[in-house]
A and B are shown apart, each in its own frame.
Chain A
Amino acid sequence: MTSALDIPAIKEPGFEAFATREENAVRLAFLGSAELQVSELLGPFLARVHDEALRLGAREVTVDLVKLEFMNSSCFKRLVTWLNLLREVQGQSSYAVRFLSSPRVRWQKASLMALSCFAPGSVTIEARDAS
């Protein structure tokens, strides 16, 4: 991964999402509360993440949800659409998705479990404490 990462951040009242590049990975961080108002922005953001991860040959995309208070079903659906794109990528160009979740934010456990069942083999979940 030598090129620059080209994923514009989302900065809305109550919600932020941004991407950074790490070695052979892309790291995303979601902060605040992802609700109906940001759903329309999150779809293109994640589609861009997918394109960039493939372009840069990333082996992993890490999604840090530790500081995400809530995610509604419209935004959850955007994650589903993204993982569905990933399911369609065959072979070595594919990448893994690792969600970092907070044990204190209880909805995350059930939502991430559902996502890991939806894209088995691609999704892992790691519990992290908010720092």
Chain B
Amino acid sequence: MSLPPGFSAAAPEDARFEFRSARKGDTYLFELEFTPNIRLVPIVRRFVSDFYGEVFEDAEVVARVALATHELMENAVRHNSGSEARLAVELRDVAGEKLISVRIGNPAWPADIDKLSRLLDAMGQAPDPLQFYLQMMGQTARQEEGSGLGLTRIRVEGEMQLSHTVQGEWVEITARTTCPSRLS
């Protein structure tokens, strides 16, 4: 599977990135390594939307994946303590369902890693994701900086499960969802 030429043409001149895409059977994979650049985020979101929109019938799911891609990439740019980040968007068959995952990795500062861990723990323990979201919205309404709304948005609006791993300063966040197999 080839990428549309517009992807490179639309990227900002100062953006540094490498991408790979592949189809193996019913598995579709898109990987991107990039230096943090906020202007790359909407371009990748549109690309993911187009790329998976072509192979997946459910526009609702594609929109959720695009939203997760945008929010995770923006997170990786804003909270990056180094000069690299890696994105992987995968769609594959698992037990008659499609498993869709959006994974992002980047180096981050310890304080941001602690904050992330606390947020994802609290989100995971919340009995009602919507109530948790509304609570976050109330808390963040008066905060000038930072909110955690992006990740909570992926959980509630994107209807995706979030998890993370930490190795040293490298943080990886994964958003996952499943849906019935309806590949075109």
Contacts and interface: CB of A to CB of B under 8 A. Distances in A.
Given A36-B74, A118-B137, 14 more contacts: A36-B38, A36-B41, A72-B70, A74-B74, A76-B149, A80-B140, A106-B64, A107-B63, A107-B66, A107-B157, A110-B157, A114-B156, A114-B157, A117-B134
A36 B40 CA distance: 12
B71 interface: yes
Interface in A43-65: none
- Chain A at the B interface: SS class: helix
Interface of B: 38, 41-42, 45, 59-60, 63-64, 66-67, 70-71, 74, 78, 130, 133-134, 137-138, 140-142, 147, 149-150, 153, 156-158
Interface in A17-49: 33, 35-37
Nearest to B78: A36
A50 B78 CA distance: 29
A80 B137 contact: yes
A77 B149 contact: yes
Interface in A68-113: 70, 72-74, 76-77, 80-81, 83-84, 106-107, 110-111
